[in-house]
Chain A
């Protein structure tokens, strides 16, 4: 088990290094930043001076080396616009995003796993069909439509919920629902399918033959096995959400999150912020993946043995 965890962490470190490198070269591809920052009204001499000042006249290898050194010593530079360390700017924004993510994920799991189990048990009756229709609708409607509908109903017409910012618990309700819509639909479907596979397994019959009541058979023997399949799907969905999924919803509700920040700094060409923002999101995704990998091995002893 320990070897497995260590190997997962090592893989995570390698991925991280590759991403750091990719981010460096991808940002260099978009041209000389001096041109964007200072515009046209600058003399040739001043331009050369600035290029030398930013270290852009040294070879790409040297630049890359300096970049690596600063990344690993935690120096990510200053924002072009705000003249503050980018790390501060991004970290201010990361926490609201993380809160929203956690709230959406917990809501999703609380709703979709029980729904999926119900849909699997009552697959032939009305309950199962109703759940699946709702799940399908949720899957078909994009998050921004749900978001706008929610704003129309609960803020504009009924005036029950606040729309802008993350000031109170009430502020969380609509963004959470908007993000969870698709997620609930997807995970309900996956839970149902995973449970259906498990329900027909021989060991479920064994559990019943032991005299366990049905709810215990489903929750103890069924869900634990279904969770192996579920974990990988949930991990992928959460990672996807962390990467880009909440950008649109954050814009709708003016959520002071990282998605909103990334969009703004891309439009305004604030490269240091963009660069660091992309890196932070990548780190988040990698960490989520590693956590899922490790919990996967925890859920399935066969993986532990094979990989440990």
Chain B
């Protein structure tokens, strides 16, 4: 075998006194994809940022080890390079694609200028030539209508397109090494499949080595040649992808694989329930329509188009569809957080549409919501005991004196310690915060919980624990769930029935096994085929 593009030996990284990476070694060859797998906090991203020597910016330090970069005869240790050499290397020989396509592009610069910057910097092209090259690059990452995109700003592009722009920027100088840090985690499954195919295709074309960082074993199976499994900064297993999936050695690897949501891993049987909790009939919601004195009249966009669905007591209805299909708008319309245009909603037999404000408030008590981002949906200034009992307080279900007792009961119910009620949200991890969000929803004593992408921001194994908690609550309290997600594999695990949403409409509904095994609608089949599978 030829000498590796990158040879990392005994890498150690510290954040203050905490050692995040403890003597990690691995090598990547040209045309090879090495996956670095582990949960958040395992040191994967720290490793990636160290290779580009950007870790110092994040408050970390490389304390030991070598990072030999070569492949063309000369071998340099990245640790010893000065600032000038590093800026020449970054974006040219080694480049990186980050996790968050939404925030990784400069919001006030045109796409064209951002891509052209790389050409101006590394190939010394003038602006016109660089823009032309940028257009060619956008075409190469298969962005439709590339010349028009050059003049657009990041907020005018979808997440998938933005990630393509990031890839275009990273590959502009045909690097020897591409580092991808969870590049598809923020994207929905169909987009994820497209991006993975794109990276594979460009790798064959350019011949670079790829270091692919992910927590998702399904993605690993799709893309990796070799795999390094990382736990708490240490390598627990290294093997070729084939071997790893056939004969995983380390118990931790097996645990990661078990946690990955997989299609066909079975679903819950219908809990004995009687009566319908939620009944939605031909609901439509329009966005952006306006008419006024100083504003132009606008038709707006029909985000939800005549949707009908029911949720029985003790049942979980999974709602799947890609981002932008109207799932969240539907959820908000059901609680009348946005006003629907037409249709009717009945919660526990009571009509929610055309209800007065006080009656609406009473009904909202019975349907609570858990949101996607556990970091943003908890007020950072409130201690947990006030935070999670707030809905109960608002609805007058608990006196100020009993608030702490209620809070203690709630945190125990969601599997946290009793004395955690005196802490603040920032002292909890993502998974724990989502438990707090669930506790908050429970405090009002709801019949229905609407979980809008509630586990999408979490690592697979943490997500597993949170969905298990939901199932447990359903068994003990007979709760109903409307479980919204873009990930059909997650939905499958928790849902009795599945509704597939596409372009504002529900295109297919049915019992989970029926929808998965005998999908009727073409879009459902597309969703299913996009899910990365562990079957290698």
A interface list, Cβ under 8 A from B: 3, 7, 10, 201-203, 205-214, 221, 224-225, 228, 299-302, 305
The answer to whether A203 and B118 touch across the interface, beta carbons within 8 angstroms, is no
Q: Is the CB of A210 within 8 A of B107?
A: no
User: Would you list the 5 A-B pairs with minimal beta carbon distance, nearest first?
Assistant: A211-B91, A211-B90, A210-B91, A202-B103, A301-B153
Give 1 or 0 for each of B88-108: 1 = CB within 8 Å of chain A CB. 111110011010100111111
**Inter-chain contact A301/B103, CB cutoff 8 Å:** no
Contact of A206 with B106 in the complex, beta carbons under 8 Å: yes
**In the complex, A246→B114 CA distance in Å?**
43
Residues of A within 8 Å of B170, CB to CB, are 209
Do A212 and B117 touch across chains, with their CB atoms under 8 A apart?
Answer: yes
**Contact indicator A202/B155 (Cβ below 8 Å):** no
B87 at the interface (CB under 8 A from A): yes
In the bound complex, how far is the Cα of B108 from the Cα of A239, in angstroms?
26
- Measured CB to CB, the closest approach of chain B to A293, in angstroms, equals 15
Per the bound structure, the CA–CA distance linking A207 and B57 in Å amounts to 13
Kindly list chain A residues whose C-beta atoms are within 8 Å of the C-beta of B108: 224-225, 228, 299-301
CA distance A300 to B109 in the complex (A): 9
Which A residues lie within 8 Å of B121 (CB)?
210-212
Main secondary structure of the interface of A (DSSP, over half): helix
Query: What residues of chain B lie closer than 8 Å to A224, measured between beta carbons?
Result: 106, 108-109
B155–A205 contact, CB under 8 A? no
Tell me whether B90 and A209 are in contact (CB under 8 A): yes
The winner among A10, A209, A212, A221 for most chain B CB atoms within 10 A is: A209
In whole angstroms, what is the CA distance A302 to B109 when docked? 11
* Smallest beta-carbon distance B262→chain A, Å: 31
Q: Quick one: which of B446-488 are within 8 Å of A by CB?
A: none
Interface string of B276-297 (1 = CB under 8 A from A): 0000000000000000001010
Which of B87, B153, B166, B296 contacts A211 (CB under 8 A)? B87
- Are A212 and B166 in contact (CB-based, < 8 A)? no
Q: For B98, what are the chain A residues with a Cβ–Cβ distance below 8 Å? A: 202, 205-206, 209
In the complex with contacts A205-B54, A210-B117, A211-B118, A221-B88 CB distance below 8 A: no
Other 8 A-B pairs with CB < 8 A, given A203-B106, A305-B155: A202-B100, A209-B90, A210-B118, A212-B91, A224-B108, A225-B106, A299-B108, A301-B107
Residues of B within 8 A of A209 (CB): 52, 54, 90-91, 95-96, 98, 170
Which residues on the A side are within 8 Å of B294 (C-beta)? 7, 10
Cα distance A301–B106 in the bound complex, in angstroms = 11
Given contacts A7-B294, A206-B98, A211-B91, contact A225 B54 (CB under 8 A): no
Q: How far is the CB of B51 from chain A (nearest CB, A)?
A: 11
Interface contacts (Cβ under 8 Å), in number, total: 82
Give CA–CA (A201, B102) in the complex, Å: 11
Chain B, residue nearest A14 (CB): B294
Cα distance A299–B107 in the bound complex, in angstroms: 10
B92 cross-chain contacts in A, Cβ below 8 A:
211
**Quick one: closest B residue to A199, CB to CB?**
B57
Q: Does B413 contact A (CB under 8 A)?
A: no
Q: How far is the CB of A232 from chain B (nearest CB, A)?
A: 15
Chain B neighbourhood of A225, CB < 8 A: 106-108
CA distance A202 to B88 in the complex (A): 21
Residues from chain B with Cβ under 8 Å of A305 in the complex:
153, 155-156
B418 CB within 8 Å of chain A: no
The reply to whether B57 and A212 contact each other, CB–CB distance below 8 Å, is no
User: What chain B residues lie within 8 Å of A205 (beta carbons)?
Assistant: 54, 57, 98, 104
B residues near A202, Cβ cutoff 8 Å = 98, 100, 103-104
- Which residue from chain A places its CB closest to the CB of B155 in the assembled complex? A302
Flag if A203 contacts B95 (CB, 8 Å): no
Q: Mark B133-149, 1 if CB is under 8 A from A, else 0.
A: 00000000000000000
Task: Quote the shortest CB–CB distance from B151 to chain A (angstroms).
Answer: 11
> B122, A206: Cβ atoms under 8 Å?
no
Residues of B within 8 A of A211 (CB): 86-92, 118, 121-122
Q: How far is the CA of A301 from the CA of B86 in the complex (A)?
A: 32
The chain B residue with its CB closest to the CB of A210 is B91
Given A301-B155, A302-B155, residue A206 in contact with residue B105 (CB < 8 A): yes
Determine the distance from Cα of A208 to Cα of B96 in the docked complex, in whole angstroms: 10
Cα separation A209 to B86 with both chains bound (whole Å): 10
Bound-complex Cα distance A209 to B122 (A): 12
B169 at the interface (CB under 8 A from A): yes
Q: Which of B57, B86, B90, B108 has the most CB of A within 10 A?
A: B108
Q: In the bound complex, what is the Cα–Cα distance between A265 and B108 (angstroms)? A: 48
Tell me the bound Cα distance from A299 to B166 in angstroms.
Answer: 23
- Bound-state Cα–Cα, A95 to B166, Å: 51
Residues of B within 8 A of A10 (CB): 294
Partner of A213, one of B52, B87, B89, B296: B87
Q: Which residues of A contact B109 (CB under 8 A)?
A: 221, 224
How far is B104's CA from A206's CA once the two chains are assembled, in angstroms? Answer: 6
Give Cα distance in the complex from A224 to B87, angstroms.
21
Within B158-182, which residues are at the interface with A (CB < 8 Å)? 166, 169-170
CB A72 to nearest CB in B, in angstroms, measures 23
Q: Which A residues are in CB contact (< 8 Å) with B156?
A: 305
Establish whether residues B54 and A208, one from each chain, have CB atoms under 8 Å apart when the complex forms. yes
Q: What's the least CB distance linking B189 to chain A, in Å? A: 23
Of B103, B106, B153, chain A has the most CB atoms within 10 Å of the CB of B106
Say which residue of B57, B86, B87, B166 sits within 8 Å of A206 (CB atoms).
B166
Chain B residues within an 8 Å CB radius of A228:
108
A230 CB → nearest B CB, Å: 13
Q: Can you spell out 5 A-B residue pairs with CB atoms less than 8 angstroms apart?
A: A7-B294, A202-B100, A203-B107, A206-B169, A209-B52
Q: Which residues of B contact A301 (CB under 8 A)?
A: 107-108, 153, 155
- Report the Cα distance A300→B107, complex, angstroms: 8
Task: Kindly state the separation between the CA atoms of A3 and B106 in the bound complex, as whole angstroms.
Answer: 25
Known A-B contacts A210-B121, A212-B121; the reply to A221 vs B106 at CB < 8 A is yes
Given the complex, which residues of A lie within 8 Å of B103, measured CB to CB? 201-203
CA distance A214 to B169 in the complex (A): 18
Once the chains are docked, how many angstroms separate the CA of A201 from the CA of B118?
Answer: 19
Give CA–CA (A305, B154) in the complex, Å. Answer: 12
Report how far A3 CA is from B296 CA in the complex, Å: 10
CB distance from B432 to the nearest CB of A (A): 24
- Within the complex, the shortest CB–CB distance from A227 to chain B, in Å, comes to 9
Bound form: Cα–Cα A302–B91 in Å: 27
Alpha-carbon gap, A224 to B100, bound state (A):
21
Q: How far is the CB of B52 from chain A (nearest CB, A)?
A: 6
Residue of B57, B86, B88, B156 with highest tally of chain A CB at under 10 A = B57
- Given A202-B100, A211-B122, A224-B109, CB of A302 within 8 Å of CB of B90: no
State in angstroms the CA–CA spacing of A245 and B351 once bound together: 59
**How many angstroms from the CA of A224 to the CA of B153 in the assembled complex?**
14
In the complex formed, the residue of A with least CB distance to B113 is: A220
Asked if A203 meets B89 with Cβ closer than 8 Å, knowing A208-B57, A210-B117, A212-B121, the reply is no
In the complex, which residue of chain B has the Cβ closest to the Cβ of A304? B153
Closest approach, in angstroms, between the C-beta of A173 and any C-beta of chain B? 36
Nearest chain A residue, comparing its CB with the CB of B88: A211
| Chain A residues with CB below 8 A from B117, complex form | 210, 212
